[in-house]
Copies of this chain bind each other. A is one copy, B any other.
Amino acid sequence: MNDKEKDLEMQCGCEHEHPEVVREVRAAMPDENVTADLSDFFKVFGDSSRMRILFALDRRELCVCDLSAALGMTKSAVSHQLRFLRANHLVASRRSGKNIFYSLADEHVRDIIEIAVEHLSEED
């Protein structure tokens, strides 16, 4: 056991918690709004339907009916999810006649997914 580990144990071997450590971590914690915004953002990626929509749009701009046909979802379900994606600034839309075409709005999407793929490929 090295010094760092010994130090940590001293700080939690007592009562219910060690005030010093707790205070330090508390002070360093970002504002509750920040963590809430972050988790809300990741919630968008935390659904397989939305993930599949993002992959499809990564391929090419698509209208809702093609999107729903490609993914085997109803237009309504797709539309509900697109609304969610739009609210989070991940897709952009443009109307052209009867159709509304959606596309990826943010280059961060690819980066984030890439890191996730890396992580998943390492955990076996």
User: Residues of A with Cβ closer than 8 Å to B?
Assistant: 1, 5, 8-9, 11-13, 16-18, 21-22, 24-26, 28-30, 32, 35-48, 50-52, 55-56, 59-63, 65-66, 68-71, 88-89, 96-99, 101, 106, 108, 111-113, 115-120, 123
Contact = CB atoms under 8 A, between A and B. Distances in A.
Max chain B Cβ within 10 angstroms of own Cβ: one of A22, A29, A40, A89 = A22
The interface residues of chain A, by DSSP majority, are classed as helix
A51 B48 CA distance: 20
18 contacts: A1-B96, A12-B99, A13-B99, A24-B60, A25-B59, A28-B59, A29-B71, A32-B48, A32-B52, A38-B120, A39-B51, A41-B116, A41-B119, A41-B120, A42-B43, A43-B46, A45-B46, A46-B46
